[in-house]
Structure 1
Amino acid sequence: MYNFLWGVFFVAVNFALFLACYRLLGKNGLYAWIGAATVLANIQVVKTIEMFGVVMTLGNTIYATIYLTTDLLNEKYGEKEARKAVWFGFFSMIMALILMQMVLAFKPGSDDISQEALETIFGLTPRIALGSLCAYFVSQFLDVRIFSRLKVAYPNRSQLWIRNNGSTGLSQLVDTLVFCSIAFIGIYPWDVWWQIALTTYVLKFVISVASTPVIYIARSFKFKEEG
């Protein structure tokens, strides 16, 4: 019960910080959030927790806010800006991966206390790193495309929840299947693989549905420089 209650608070804090970032920095804040979220998600995923008897990884909450960010950009500024944000996040992942691997290659000093911890967090196996990059690349561009299609099919302002949840629901399913396939097929038995994939997807989708009021609030923000 403790992890559940702390998890609810954790989700609320993520959403509050997202809104604060956009309110204070405008559209640039959304790009800043994408960059930070892609890096933090890959750090948080190292930690596992147990909730209601199910083992799950952290990182899903802030990763779900990436979809929230690109959907908001698509809603207010258009598909081109959303695609730009996806590339921004992809570069952030590549940059963090390359630089931290180089950091690990340095020979630590005799009094160093961080090398082992850094290796645990950033010493990604090639399959997990490849799975993360491929899943992000495919699912994020898919999300942008589906949102744009739904924007044409359901154009009313009140139908934002359809555009948001419809695009995110499908793209996150693809994200989960791509990542789990590349990272875990052949490592875990099929029954374990399906449990990991199912619980990961359900958790992501629940968080995304919970973010629906957040994107409505964010869409209402007005900025002088945007007229």
Structure 2
Amino acid sequence: MPNEGLWLVMLLVNFGCIALFYRFFGRVGLYAWIPLSVILANVQVLKTVELFGLVCTLGNILYAGSFLVTDILSENYGKKAAATGVLIGFFSLIAMTLLMQLAVFFAPHASDFSQSALETLFGLMPRIAGASLLAYLISQAHDVWAYDFWRRRFPAFRWIWLRNNASTMVSQFLDTLIFTLAAFWGVFPKEILIEIFLTTYFLKWLVAAMDTPFLYLAGRQYQNGRVREA
């Protein structure tokens, strides 16, 4: 299967998992998904691929999905619940970085076969995690604020598409700009850096546009009492 097909499959799997986590575990399920998506996105972003003829990094779908989760929290439980989700993701990323750095520092046994792979994957992790933490805090803080801002001005259920996209697409721009510069400046040539920024933002923008039906679905499930709160 070509990369583009795999990307679409990953998109559907990501949205499907979020919907299932919410359906069966409610708010707790969303809180559980946030650290999972943030941590895996920071691992996947280390892989550079070609999509639609352009160079980009993986992790876009999982990371953009975390914005869908905080928007669901904002929509159904309010701004404070969404802010709690942001903090869970923030501290989860710090914990993962510290624990994996310690794992790399352990002297491997003669029979070990994973040390070089771990060093390759997590050697850049402090810089990747630092860039991600900075971008995550700024962009998610904006997203939570902006969603609440648009929700107070357009509170009707039919305007979910507006508050979702008006908040997320600006937040994704901030996130992509900050992360690309902080994580990859000096690692890639400027031409590749610009291409990574443009393709990453485009893919995140696409994910944000495509997640709108799932936000409507989550809203209807909550209104109709079909969410099983853990």
Same topology, TM > 0.5: yes
Aligned-residue RMSD, C-alpha = 1.6
Aligned amino acid, residue 180 of structure 2: C
| Residues 116 and 224 of structure 1: CA distance in aligned 2, closer, same or farther (over 3 Å) | closer
> In the alignment, which residue of structure 2 is the partner of 1:197?
197
**If the length of structure 1 is used for normalisation, what is the TM-score?**
0.94
> In the alignment, which residue of structure 2 is the partner of 1:63?
63
2: CA distance, partners of 1:150 / 1:170: 13
Aligned amino acid, residue 54 of structure 2: V
2: CA distance, partners of 1:141 / 1:58: 23
Segment of structure 1 superposing worse, 30-39 or 6-15:
6-15
2: CA distance, partners of 1:93 / 1:32: 13
> In the alignment, which residue of structure 1 is the partner of 2:162?
162
Q: Is the 8 A contact 1:26 1:223 kept in 2?
A: no
> In the alignment, which residue of structure 2 is the partner of 1:108?
108
1: CA distance, partners of 2:86 / 2:7: 27
**If the length of structure 2 is used for normalisation, what is the TM-score?**
0.93
Q: Is the 8 A contact 2:90 2:136 kept in 1?
A: yes
Q: Is the 8 A contact 2:161 2:212 kept in 1?
A: yes
Q: Describe how 1:99-178 pairs up with structure 2 within 5 A.
A: 99-124=99-124, 126-178=126-178
Misfit runs of 4+, over 6 Å:
none
2: CA distance, partners of 1:161 / 1:66: 17
Q: Is the 8 A contact 2:3 2:50 kept in 1?
A: yes
> In the alignment, which residue of structure 1 is the partner of 2:13?
13
Gaps of 5+ in 2: none
Deviation at 1:192? Answer: 3.1
Deviations 1:30-88 (A, max 9, x none): 00000111111111112222123212111100111100000000000000000000000
> In the alignment, which residue of structure 2 is the partner of 1:209?
209
Deviation at 1:225? Answer: 7.2
Aligned amino acid, residue 55 of structure 2: V
1: CA distance, partners of 2:110 / 2:205: 46
Alignment length, in residue pairs? 226
Gaps of 5+ in 1: none
Q: Describe how 1:2-81 pairs up with structure 2 within 5 A.
A: 2-81=2-81
2: CA distance, partners of 1:185 / 1:120: 19
> In the alignment, which residue of structure 2 is the partner of 1:88?
88
1: CA distance, partners of 2:49 / 2:184: 19
Aligned amino acid, residue 23 of structure 2: R
Q: Is the 8 A contact 1:176 1:197 kept in 2?
A: yes
Deviations 1:65-124 (A, max 9, x none): 100000000000000000000000001000000000001000000000111111122222
| Residues 154 and 224 of structure 1: CA distance in aligned 2, closer, same or farther (over 3 Å) | closer
What percentage of aligned pairs have identical amino acids? 45
| Residues 180 and 224 of structure 1: CA distance in aligned 2, closer, same or farther (over 3 Å) | closer
